[in-house]
Amino acid sequence: MTASHLTSRAVIRLTPLEPGEDIGAFLQGLVTNDVAGPLPVWAALLSPQGKVLFDFVVWADGADLLLDCEAAQAEALAKRLSLYRLRRKIGIAVDPSVAVHWQSGAGPAPDPRLAALGQRWLGEASGESADESWLAQRLSLGVCEGQAELGDLLWLECNAAELNGVSFTKGCYVGQENTARMNWRQKVNRRLVVVPLAESDPARQRVAYPELGLAVDHRRVEDIRAEWLPEWLQPA
């Protein structure tokens, strides 16, 4: 059986603790994407200045919402969401009974960012880790994620609009003002791009992956070579 468990990911469960508590409404006012529509979606929690704190995939599970996030950042994300909870009766905690799974190829559950990334689903933890295969697939398609690659950057510089990570019609959320202004002005001066490691600029490098011969750079748009652009980013 092909390995599918992404051990580098964890799941946070948001649960209503009393009748009438609406988890979707709570999250809708915080994150970049529309969680009132079809799920899953890729989204982020931003700083008030519009910079990335955490990114995650939002899933529905009955009245609960599940956040498929970077395992190393799961506790910090749960703590940050708890600050916004105030007096609302909402449970926010990592759920170790649910795991994130992935496999390459077409199928009924494509990754909400880009179908070419493959299939993504939640289930019980089982089998060997697929993390290395997932990393290679993701970087080969020029898709960035996680704190090391995205952290403290403006959300649209992370190619969020092109990867379905932001709604410009759903209303206010934390960091919405700067994000909406950049979109309205059509002014994204820098972008994340996956480049050959030998051509990476140390001053602009976010992360290096020597085992794959690749790096993630945060480059000015005019410095990005055409051959570095994945097909999905070329119109931008």
Question: pLDDT tens-digit profile of 59-84?
Answer: 999 999 999 999 999 999 999 999 99
How many domains does the chain divide into?
Answer: 1
The secondary structure element, H or E, covering residue 209 is: strand 205-209
pLDDT for position 234: 86
Rg, the chain, Cα only: 18
What pairs with residue 12 in β-bridges? 67, 94
What's the token pair of residue 18? 């009393």
> The tokens 């933890």 sit on which residue?
125
Place 38 in a pLDDT band, splitting at 50, 70 and 90: very high
Residue 119 lies in a domain: yes
pTM for the model stands at 0.95
Report, as an integer, the average pLDDT of 144-160.
98
pLDDT for position 72: 98
d(CA 69, CA 12): 8
Phi/psi of residue 196, nearest 5 degrees: -60, 140
Share of residues in the chain with pLDDT > 70 (%): 99
The secondary structure element, H or E, covering residue 99 is: strand 99-103
Residue 143 lies in a domain: yes
Residue 3 lies in a domain: no
Residue 132 lies in a domain: yes
Summarised one tens digit per residue, pLDDT across range 216-232 is 999 999 999 999 999 99
Residue-averaged pLDDT of the chain? 95
pLDDT for position 108: 87
d(CA 134, CA 137): 5
Checking if the pLDDT of 1 tops 60, the result is no
d(CA 60, CA 4): 21
Question: What secondary structure letter does DSSP report for 227?
Answer: G
Report, as an integer, the average pLDDT of 139-152.
98
Residue 214 lies in a domain: yes
Share of residues in the chain with pLDDT > 90 (%): 90
pLDDT for position 2: 81
Residue 223 lies in a domain: yes
Count the Cβ atoms, other than its own, within 10 Å of residue 23: 22
Phi/psi of residue 108, nearest 5 degrees: -80, -10
Checking if the pLDDT of 236 tops 60, the result is no
Per the document, the length of the chain is 236
Report, as an integer, the average pLDDT of 181-186.
89
**215 in Cβ contact with 135 (< 8 Å):** no
For residue 84, the enclosing domain spans: 9-233
Place 27 in a pLDDT band, splitting at 50, 70 and 90: very high
Residue 90 lies in a domain: yes
CATH number at residue 68: 3.30.1360.120
Report, as an integer, the average pLDDT of 130-151.
98
Grouping H, G, I as helix, E, B as strand and the rest as coil, residue 221 is helix
**102 in Cβ contact with 87 (< 8 Å):** no
Report, as an integer, the average pLDDT of 77-96.
96
Q: Of 72, 102, 90, 74, nearest to 23 (Cα)?
A: 90
In this predicted model, which residue has the larger pLDDT, 34 or 126? Answer: 34
Report, as an integer, the average pLDDT of 119-144.
95
Asked if residue 40 has a cis previous peptide bond (ω within 30° of 0), the answer is yes
In this predicted model, which residue has the larger pLDDT, 125 or 72? Answer: 72
Name the pairing type of β-strands 214-220 and 9-16: unpaired
